[in-house]
Structure 1
């Protein structure tokens, strides 16, 4: 209004002055007009700047919203947005006409891909995985990356046709059979899949929200996926209610194992090893037991695989070995101690040094120790296993190949690795009790041991019939329930005290620490090593 008022007064006078018909406009009014024009231009510029700023803010908010809902690496939905999407689908899907299948997908051994090929290769694998799964989803399906190498998708299906979901899962497994190539390196990838149907939610809380139902459905699919991994990977399973009970039990076991290690609940038991020809006790094998306050005495077949999975087997084993060394120091020095070593421990390049350090710490003679490793260890890193075996033997420790015959050891491996003895698996020995048994396998193993100059020890001698059958192969060692069940340390001490086989009954007592390591007390016929542990 000010501009109109001043302009209507100034402009006509200015035009007349320019044409020479009158005096010029008033200076004050002219200045007011120019100032008004400047204010209008400044305001317009500010208006444009504010509009630009608002547009940038709008775009930033949209990008933030997109990033909050989308996984940046793969372009899939993320966990939060997928839960919202699944909740909305559950709310809008009438159960009698359409069911929803939540499919949890996890890449097998993805960490190994990252470790061996780098994170760039891992990112390529994740993007490829997302692309392959998305290409198979039917109309109405959604895919999300929950984090790491875990994906989840939801697909609608008719309740009467669950085989369509089976077919989809089968195609996913087949799709991942093709390797992912990065920098000329082909990376083999497999997946484990768990499937849960919205029909499984019928037994849930009727008053729960659809968001809570979505979270519960995703959890059930995750449980089924975990079951697929436990069954061997590269496969799929539908959720069943007993899987939830198994997982809950496993979680309790995992927590109990961690507490048990802190509270020293894992204790060594000892099984007798006997010279079959003379019947003389020659040593004991240490067997782990879990003395749980809640569940009682638990065997190693329950907790050892779980301890390996959760990465505490080394700590658990080292604690048990240390306690076994202290127990065995009270025995007759002629009695040996056998200890089983997990394949997981054999992957540790410092295992040999840790074991030798335990020997020195507990002042236990190396020549009385016999460690037992399974054939599984030989296929993972034969070079490192050879180095550790050599290092331990150089210090006087004996090495046995346990459960021989159940793995895939080759003759070349047996010849190249310096084992001290073979242990025949109990499954072969137990066959000897049958009237129509075939002893050809046992005969072949004993002959092989003779040819390689390796003594043989038989596991699983349960009765007199088996013992008598083993008599035809001459001198060997044996162990099994025929000689008694595994016993805790206090009962072993009582047994040895009654037989006069304690260290206190022996004039020499416990071997001095100078013999604890160094390989100075080898078995007859065995060469002494250099006395130096491998680096």
Structure 2
């Protein structure tokens, strides 16, 4: 109703302006007509006034009337001309304002690119024109990789400046036939007609944009390192609309990011199947975590000298109701990406602590913390809360942290580690040798153990370099008085080599694959490491004496 009233008001104003314009035009035309048709009479009257009579009183009354009419006519002409000039100026200003409004309605104010709606309209025309001319149309989705950091560090005004600089780079790369738009935030789309026989033309443009945006952007005192990932889709028999191209290009863009960012990727059907699978996994995570489908499996850790079981590493497995047991490499990356890794980890730890609390007090549990979890400042409190609720002793828990997660936020990791250590929880540096600055991390954090990455251990008897790395880490641990755990012990040869180096703890398939809690309890019972097993053994001699 309010919109209708506004439209009626604008319509009434337009009618009023038109009437005034019509009146001014009629007055001007009438005055000019009178001047043209009666001008000779006015001239004659003026001549008589100036030449034959010296007193105004002697003038004929007709001459005075004609003179007055001429003056009035001139006044009307001047009024009409001035009104006409004002109307022209007003009309010009109105046209300019309407043009600006149209431009603002079609373009993004910050970058000057088309907005999403206008891109869809013009993109449809580009596709239709390309089909008529036997040309293909590529749609490039350009996503700035680290633009969020610019806003967080330098503020949104600086972010806008960097965004305009990035826009200029994209614009410079495009031919005149291209149509570019801003989709959202730091994401752009480009529609580009090209000869389907020369796809390298599109590759060259994408490579230029990626290369130029990989360089530091310096503007107004702000230096930003952003980079870009580009997904590309092209028109096909089953993909001839802007919406369909956008969907495929977005899939390809995410594939480019997953492959390491700072590159471009063309869409192919396998990407779509992977996306469907990934979305199914995310849906399964959201449904399965509350239902307890994610459970702990236990990988034995042994004393390499005696062969005795001294602990287990807790590994997550998905016991799917229809697909069976799903390994972690299928769902852990998705859980980290969609923010469900913390909930899943808490669920698995709670179950593991509950299942293992009555095992022999010499048996420890090792739990790996993902880089995403180490960004949570309340992580230590959450783990301690689990220990209290389940009754599992803190001194039987070892938290494993990878070097890559420390590199992301060392100061926060120091705070979390300090809180864990204060509760008696031990700390291990996992995947040692694969990170960025291992020695610096050993000095910065109070680790209780080093775990050698299994990629070195499994190859040590075949690759001299891997053997040298394992040996060097073993000596480093000895000099720092840090125990070493070797992962990936898969055969007797590796086992013997590690024992000869003096390593005391190891794990791998040579000692057993990750197992269910039932299998773990059976193994512990065989070794007399369950309270019930020890009670039976203690009762047996008494029964024999009786």
- 1:328–1:181 CA distance, 2 compared to 1 (3 A): same
Asked if the contact 1:96–1:159 (Cα under 8 Å) also holds between the matched residues in 2, the reply is no
For 1:418-457, what aligned pairs fall within 5 Å after superposition?
418-434=446-462, 439-457=467-485
Deviations 1:93-113 (A, max 9, x none): 236642211111000022222
Q: Name which of structure 1's ranges 122-131 and 450-459 shifts more when overlaid on structure 2.
A: 122-131
Please name the residue that 1:331 is paired with: 359
SS at match of 1:483: coil
Post-superposition offset of 1:496: 2.3
Structure 2 residue 230 is the aligned partner of structure 1 residue 202:
no
- 1:332–1:194 CA distance, 2 compared to 1 (3 A): same
Post-superposition offset of 1:506: 6.2
Asked if the contact 1:332–1:505 (Cα under 8 Å) also holds between the matched residues in 2, the reply is no
Structure 2 residue 151 is the aligned partner of structure 1 residue 123:
no
SS at match of 2:469: helix
Asked if the contact 1:415–1:452 (Cα under 8 Å) also holds between the matched residues in 2, the reply is no
Asked if the contact 2:312–2:365 (Cα under 8 Å) also holds between the matched residues in 1, the reply is yes
Structure 2 residue 209 is the aligned partner of structure 1 residue 172:
yes
Please name the residue that 2:495 is paired with: 467
- 1:404–1:59 CA distance, 2 compared to 1 (3 A): same
Q: Name which of structure 1's ranges 124-133 and 326-335 shifts more when overlaid on structure 2.
A: 124-133
Please name the residue that 1:283 is paired with: 311
SS at match of 2:434: coil
Please name the residue that 1:512 is paired with: none
Q: 1:363 aligns with which of 391, 397, 410?
A: 391
Q: In 2, distance between residues paired with 1:437 and 1:124?
A: 49
Q: In 2, distance between residues paired with 1:127 and 1:96?
A: 34
User: What is the TM-score with the length of structure 1 in the denominator?
Assistant: 0.79
Structure 2 residue 296 is the aligned partner of structure 1 residue 268:
yes
Unaligned runs of 5+ in 2: 1-56, 58-85, 536-546
Deviations 1:465-498 (A, max 9, x none): 2212222123511111111111112222233234
Please name the residue that 1:240 is paired with: 268
Structure 2 residue 107 is the aligned partner of structure 1 residue 70:
yes
SS at match of 1:278: coil
Please name the residue that 1:41 is paired with: none
User: What is the TM-score with the length of structure 2 in the denominator?
Assistant: 0.78
Post-superposition offset of 1:370: 0.3
Q: Name which of structure 1's ranges 55-64 and 224-233 shifts more when overlaid on structure 2.
A: 55-64
Asked if the contact 1:378–1:409 (Cα under 8 Å) also holds between the matched residues in 2, the reply is no
Asked if the contact 2:300–2:311 (Cα under 8 Å) also holds between the matched residues in 1, the reply is yes
Asked if the contact 1:333–1:503 (Cα under 8 Å) also holds between the matched residues in 2, the reply is no
- 1:438–1:130 CA distance, 2 compared to 1 (3 A): closer
Q: 1:86 aligns with which of 123, 131, 137?
A: 123
Post-superposition offset of 1:281: 0.8
Post-superposition offset of 1:63: 5.6
Q: In 1, distance between residues paired with 2:339 and 2:414?
A: 23
For 1:105-120, what aligned pairs fall within 5 Å after superposition?
105-120=142-157
Please name the residue that 1:321 is paired with: 349
- 1:468–1:417 CA distance, 2 compared to 1 (3 A): same
Asked if the contact 1:332–1:506 (Cα under 8 Å) also holds between the matched residues in 2, the reply is no
Q: In 2, distance between residues paired with 1:110 and 1:184?
A: 17
Please name the residue that 1:351 is paired with: 379
* Count of residues in Structure 1 that have an aligned counterpart in Structure 2: 465
Structure 2 residue 445 is the aligned partner of structure 1 residue 413:
no
SS at match of 1:486: coil
Please name the residue that 1:184 is paired with: 221
Higher Cα radius of gyration: 2
Q: In 2, distance between residues paired with 1:412 and 1:109?
A: 26
Post-superposition offset of 1:160: 1.8
Structure 2 residue 418 is the aligned partner of structure 1 residue 390:
yes
> How large is the Cα RMSD of the aligned pairs?
3.3
Q: In 2, distance between residues paired with 1:51 and 1:234?
A: 54
Q: In 1, distance between residues paired with 2:431 and 2:101?
A: 59
- 1:216–1:412 CA distance, 2 compared to 1 (3 A): closer
Post-superposition offset of 1:61: 6.8
- 1:292–1:214 CA distance, 2 compared to 1 (3 A): same
- 1:145–1:295 CA distance, 2 compared to 1 (3 A): farther
Deviations 1:302-336 (A, max 9, x none): 21112111111111111111111111112112210
- 1:96–1:75 CA distance, 2 compared to 1 (3 A): closer
Structure 2 residue 198 is the aligned partner of structure 1 residue 161:
yes
Please name the residue that 1:502 is paired with: 530
Deviations 1:397-455 (A, max 9, x none): 11011111222334243133211111111112212454989632211111010001011
Q: Name which of structure 1's ranges 321-330 and 52-61 shifts more when overlaid on structure 2.
A: 52-61
- 1:248–1:95 CA distance, 2 compared to 1 (3 A): farther
Structure 2 residue 427 is the aligned partner of structure 1 residue 399:
yes
Unaligned runs of 5+ in 1: 1-18, 20-48, 205-209, 508-535
